[in-house]
Structure 1
């Protein structure tokens, strides 16, 4: 398909009008209110447009404690963060441990806080303060495996997968520091559900980010979440991308688009490949109130594949804004990105973030702020139409508009290595506000707009 042609704009718009991830203008919304109801889990109202911030307690401060991190909460609230995703804080197994401190995801006791980080009271106080500041807290939950010295290993060895010799197995050879749980055992399912309940009752968390969610049976998530949601409305994020996960989760990872962006930055693809993603992945998977989390970094990407500066170079900001306002998008950043963190954090040992400057704080604050407040880019229905606009002869120029009633957001990004000129498009004529400069900007017929590599515009009415 030739995505440069104006006919694509019309056909893609027609597709979106019929699709499950675009609500139409006010008149159509009034006719299709029922279609805006969640077809899966009921989404908490506070999660409709809530940017996510991933917190690595170990690396956040020189102290590496919950209390030391807590001092940063007012700054994060000011940055328009709405959901704090806290990486695991439980004690880490010592048997077969990797590195000096071990993996966050090798849990030796689900109901305790590691002495490395503080106490359960510290965690509870952090959650309370986040709530006071208008943020919610979700806890990283590792349901697929435990550390080798978790009490269950000796007390309930039948809760683990074993070979014919009766030896407990790791999930995969490279994960030698953890033991694979066996969800065919009903007693394990009940125990794991109760461990999750503990954190809701004892600390008042607001949901879970579920590690390697596809490796845990969907039937466990379904029965467990049904019961947990009766305690309080929860936000449930799956570390996976499969369509079937939307039966039990509100949000999944945008891995496919993340890898597309990496390929574009490496020169192995063009920005037009984003259209293929939208037309296929979105058509197949998106229903009302089903969210996709987009990011340029996270704990795995940073430590194992490189920072956003390594992988994306000068394109990292343009790529972030391009993803942030797509249909059903939820933008997420990782610990230190607002400080322009340009090093790979050690995964198994202490390696604190350098907070000597907050170079990108204003950038993320503005992107998050528009995402939170502008109705055209709400992550869930009712939200704005998505209009993919003609990029002319420039394959790495990506232009789209989100519209609802008279409210609009226009995103123009040069994701290539060469300068690009924005085509003369009548649909973008008019008066706008520039998100990054806070200045008024008028686009007129015949006006030339040139963007250097990595430049972008986010305009709104």
Structure 2
């Protein structure tokens, strides 16, 4: 592992099936990597053991968050359960460490289905990604999902991707990621949840600003109650550019995403 850092300048490792490797090995290996001068190493465990953090990993996979998201969008599980799970999960995450959160990954896209298939359509898959993106954690964008690629990608096969496909989908992903990149509060803000049965509603906030993320998790029109602190305020919705004065409710169309930044 040191060889590839020193000779190929890799900046970290995603460690496959990390739960099945003893703690002592990971601790020794990661300590050795971090002892290399003038290197910032990222260590990702494909696993869920809480002792990965003690071994030196920066993050591990949040499979439970992924499964809950599918249940919300496909099975009708109340959207508010996402926040409950998040708060429980991060109760055991060491400060400065993270969970990797995703709506697709190498295993799911290879052996189960594309995001479009997993969530029941392109709009649903993008809505699920938007909520995942703005939740605390480190978001994963897996190969091809940004263009809504319709084909599974078995990683033991050579399957070139047609990157000219799905440009409208690509634009939607780019818009979400531009908001995420433009506002530090999206990545480091505190989390407060206001979700309901069918809609995700939360804010990421610090002393300077707050980002509000609203996502309809269902394929029907939904009216979400507006938190009292927003009522009467005026701003622009970031994805549409539409000016909004908050009343006591907001209408969300099927799988609609709305983002607001308030200072």
TM value normalised by structure 2: 0.89
Within 5 A, what are the aligned runs for 1:417-432? 417-429=219-231, 430-432=233-235
Pairing partner for 1:386 from 188, 191, 194: 191
Q: How big is the shift at 1:270? A: 2.1
Is 1:370 aligned with 2:172?
no
Pairing partner for 1:293 from 78, 83, 100: 100
Q: How big is the shift at 1:324? A: 1.2
Is 1:228 aligned with 2:29?
no
Is 1:398 aligned with 2:200?
yes
Q: Which runs of 5+ in 2 are unaligned?
A: none
Q: How big is the shift at 1:268? A: 4.8
Q: Confirm or deny: 8 A CA contact 1:375 1:407 kept in the other structure.
A: no
Q: Confirm or deny: 8 A CA contact 2:79 2:200 kept in the other structure.
A: yes
Pairing partner for 1:449 from 230, 250, 257: 250
Is 1:343 aligned with 2:151?
yes
Kindly report the root-mean-square deviation, in angstroms, between the aligned alpha carbons of the 2 structures. Answer: 1.9
Q: Distance in 2 between matches of 1:336 and 1:275?
A: 28
Q: Matched residue of 1:421: which SS?
A: strand
Q: Confirm or deny: 8 A CA contact 1:418 1:453 kept in the other structure.
A: yes
Largest Rg, 1 or 2: 1
Task: Show structure 1 runs of 4+ deviating over 4 A.
Answer: none
Q: Distance in 1 between matches of 2:195 and 2:9?
A: 48
In structure 2, the partner of 1:302 is 109
Within 5 A, what are the aligned runs for 1:19-418? 196-231=1-36, 232-247=39-54, 248-283=56-91, 285-313=92-120, 314-327=123-136, 329-357=137-165, 358-378=167-187, 383-389=188-194, 391=196, 395-418=197-220
Q: Matched residue of 1:219: which SS?
A: helix
Question: In 2 relative to 1, CA 225–347 (structure 1 residues): closer, same or farther, beyond 3 Å?
Answer: closer
Question: In 2 relative to 1, CA 423–209 (structure 1 residues): closer, same or farther, beyond 3 Å?
Answer: same
Count of residue correspondences = 255
Q: Matched residue of 2:141: which SS?
A: strand
Q: Which runs of 5+ in 1 are unaligned?
A: 1-195
Q: Matched residue of 1:427: which SS?
A: coil
TM value normalised by structure 1: 0.52
Q: How big is the shift at 1:390? A: 5.4
